[in-house]
Amino acid sequence: MRRRRSGGLTEAGSRRVLAGSLGKRTAAASLILALAMAADAPRGDVPAAKAGEKPAAAPDRIALTEAAAAPIGGADPDLSAKSPIKEAISLKPESPSGRAVKEILGCQARFANVKDYTCTFYKRERIDGELSSMNVMSMKMRNAPYSIYFRFHQPNKGREAIFVEGRNDGRILAHDVGFTKLLAGTMRLDPQGARAMENCRHPITKAGIGHLIDTIADRWQAELDDQESVVLFDPKIRIGSAPCLLIEAIHPEKKPGYYFHKVRLFIHSELGIPIRYEAYDWPAKPGEAPELLEEYAYDGVKLNVGLDDGDFDAANQLYSFGRF
Q: Are residues 18 and 121 in the same domain?
A: no
Q: Are residues 23 and 123 in the same domain?
A: no
- Positive or negative CA dihedral for 242, 220, 205, 144? negative
What is the distance between the terminal CA atoms of the chain, rounded to a whole angstrom?
A: 88
d(CA 143, CA 170): 16
Q: How many domains does the chain have?
A: 2
32-78 residue pLDDT tens: 333 333 333 333 333 444 444 444 444 333 444 433 333 333 334 45
Position 98 scores a pLDDT of 96
Q: How many CB atoms lie within 10 A of CB 180?
A: 13
146-204 residue pLDDT tens: 999 999 999 999 999 999 999 999 999 999 886 455 455 789 999 999 988 988 999 99
Q: Are residues 21 and 94 in the same domain?
A: no
Query: Range of 114's domain?
Result: 77-324
Q: Are residues 10 and 87 in the same domain?
A: no
What is the CATH number for 178? 2.50.20.10
Domain assignment present for 274: yes
The dihedral over CA atoms of 60, 64, 65, 70, expressed in degrees to the nearest 10, equals 80
d(CA 120, CA 301): 7
pLDDT of 243 over the 70 cut: yes
